[in-house]
Amino acid sequence: MIQETALTIMKTGANVFLTGEPGSGKTHTVNAYIRYLREHNVNPSITASTGIAATHVGGMTIHSWSGIGIKRALTEYDLDALSSNEGLVKRIANAKVLIIDEISMLDGNTLVMVEAVTRTLRRKHEPFGGLQIIFVGDFFQLPPIADRASGVRAQFCFESTAWRVANPIVCYLSEQHRQEDTAFLSTLGAIRRGELEDSVFEYIGERHVLPGEHPHDIPQLYTHNIDVDKKNTEELAKLETEEKVFLMSTKGTSNRVEQLIKGCLSPEELVLKEGASVMFTKNNFENGYVNGTLGTVVGFDEDNGFPIVETSGGENITALPSEWAVDDSGKVLATITQVPLRLAWAITVHKSQGMSLDAATMDLSRAFEYGQGYVALSRVRAFSGLHILGINQRAFEVHPLVLERDLAFHERSDEAEAGFLDMSDADLRKLHENFLLAIGGNLAKKEIIAKAFGVPKLSTYEETLALLSPGMTLAAIAKRRDVTEGTIVGHIEELALLGKLPSIDIAAFAELPASVVKEITQTIETIGGEFLKPLYLELDERYSYETIRLVRFGAGIAPKQKDAVVAKKEKVKKVSHEKPAKLGAKWGKEEEERLTKMFKEGKKTKDIAQTLERQSGGIRARLKKLGLIKK
């Protein structure tokens, strides 16, 4: 199934299991659905099975969202207690769509408890209290953690009664956006099918290297945390350059902040040196990096002190602080801010899940869990990027239950695709509209509503500027715009550089005590306000960079001309990463004819993709649909 079809199905309000091989576009597709819902004034509840996965999607763990916490069982007494929690009841009662990411790592028993809680607190007898449920993940990847104390095997979600009553439509994505090496893809496919013949080990064995012979500027994947910590500490200690420390700043309640910290791949205290091997831990297409982009620290910015990273592609990027947030149906509950880097000489297979790596060294001789070897291999974009120190037989084994159920998932996905492709556009549009109305959404997109009243489309900075009126606080604007406070501060900085920032009462706007504004202002007057890092340190790291920047604006020190923006951008080269213009767009007859002509002329897939401004995986999917290549 292609991404466009899966998105069409989700828009109908049906419960969905969105799955596919690593690199098939699960995250991209569910993010497209989230954007669609928000455009129509519906805020989905975004959760995940683990803290790391929750941090990646900007939500919270399903355990936290549902209120079950670490419970292994749920009694009537527990349900009564949860029903008396006003905040929890309001959250679940007001929810419209529940998304659970990395479903493979969630114990089926936990899903049963979530179903019971949602049904009880929403006071509706339908499964999950009538919520639309979107399960996202791949059961061939890491499985749920067993309860070692009881010795009972963890149950896959698809084995649970909650899964059966949800009865999700299976959307099995077939496109591939990570690997294009057909032999490598074929081998990964053989592992998924459990076909562990000698040829698989022979092929993978071609990338076997001896210790010390592998490249030292790429990450090494381990199955155990202790190996990772040891490797990174040892390699950093070998560098004789000056050490720089970057501390994480936080905002919100301690339990929410703790959740974010546990899930963030960047540490609370990031220690770097020039020459350190690093990896970006967050997606930022605008600035040219994604979660997993590798590089080396080549210096530190003279103005702000933040690290300059030379990527494996030879581009220099200044790693400015990024923000991670816990979002609950559009409300930001907590944020952490840190430089989006981590040391990358080593990383665990578990933490690599969801990453796309150009290259990696891996030791799978101590693999102990189903899926570990498969996850490690599938992180790497090309076979040439693999460097394997060791393998054991368990490394590439897939769970027999998953193998059996996967055949049924494929069949159900094919049936769903055929059924929805047979429906007319008018019927599908009616289903989409009915679901939006049922959950309280708007039929027209937000920008279309604005146009109807003669309001021209504004840039993101102009939208923020329009809200900078007396009485509107930083928190209120962030909530109104459905973004984090750090993003709004960035908009204000840009407006100041463009000379468009109006006069702001910083204390009222940021809801800061006058004493804090006074202290920061006095510090600026004492040591100067040109650079942020000295101010941050002089203030004993008690205030975030965003707070200091806001007060600095109030002191009139922020640059006022657009020339300052240009000069800054020319100082350190920024990289843009544009997605294909027609990603997910519907195919027209004329475009299909061009595709057929270029294919018959013998042009390569990547060249056709570039000409038609589409992904290579989308080209292959369309060629299959047109019967030009075998399915």
Q: Which of 80-89, 92-101, 621-630 has the highest mean pLDDT?
A: 92-101
Alpha-carbon span 193 to 190, nearest angstrom: 5
Q: Is 442 helix (H, G, I), strand (E, B) or coil?
A: coil
Give residue 168's pLDDT.
93
Alpha-carbon span 28 to 49, nearest angstrom: 18
Other CB atoms within 10 Å distance of the CB of residue 439: 18
Give residue 15's pLDDT.
95
Q: Which of 462-471, 546-555, 599-608 has the lowest mean pLDDT?
A: 462-471
pLDDT category of residue 574 using cuts at 50, 70 and 90? very low
Q: Which of 21-25, 30-34, 453-457, 561-565 has the highest mean pLDDT?
A: 30-34
Angle between helices 589-600 and 616-625 (to 10 degrees): 100
State the average pLDDT for the chain: 79
Q: What are the residues facing 246 on neighbouring strands?
A: 270
Q: What are the residues facing 523 on neighbouring strands?
A: none
Give residue 607's pLDDT.
81
pLDDT category of residue 573 using cuts at 50, 70 and 90? very low
Once rounded to an integer, what is the mean pLDDT over residues 572-593? 57
pLDDT at 558 over 60: no
pTM of the shown model: 0.58
Domain 3-177+423-432 of CATH type 3.40.50.300: yes
Please report the DSSP string for 293-353 in residue order. Answer: -EEEEEEE-TTT-PEEEEETTS-EEE---EEEEEEETTEEEEEEEE-SEEE-SEEEHHHHT
Give residue 485's pLDDT.
74
- CA 433 vs. chain centroid, Å, equals 28
Give residue 584's pLDDT.
47
pLDDT tens, residue by residue, 240-280? 888 889 999 888 888 888 878 877 888 889 999 998 888 88
**CATH architecture of residue range(s) 460-571:** Orthogonal Bundle (1.10)
**Is the model more confident about 122 or about 502?**
122
pLDDT at 16 over 90: yes
Measuring CA to CA, how many Å separate 105 from each of 49, 430, 510, 630? 6, 36, 40, 34
Q: Work out the percent of the chain whose per-residue pLDDT is above 90.
A: 13
pLDDT tens, residue by residue, 300-326? 988 788 999 988 777 888 888 888 887
Q: Which of 94-103, 143-152, 193-202 has the lowest mean pLDDT?
A: 143-152
pLDDT tens, residue by residue, 379-408? 787 788 888 887 777 777 788 888 888 888
pLDDT tens, residue by residue, 405-451? 888 898 899 888 888 888 888 888 899 989 998 888 888 765 554 44
Give residue 372's pLDDT.
74
Q: Where are the domains of the chain?
A: 3-177+423-432, 182-396, 460-571, 589-625
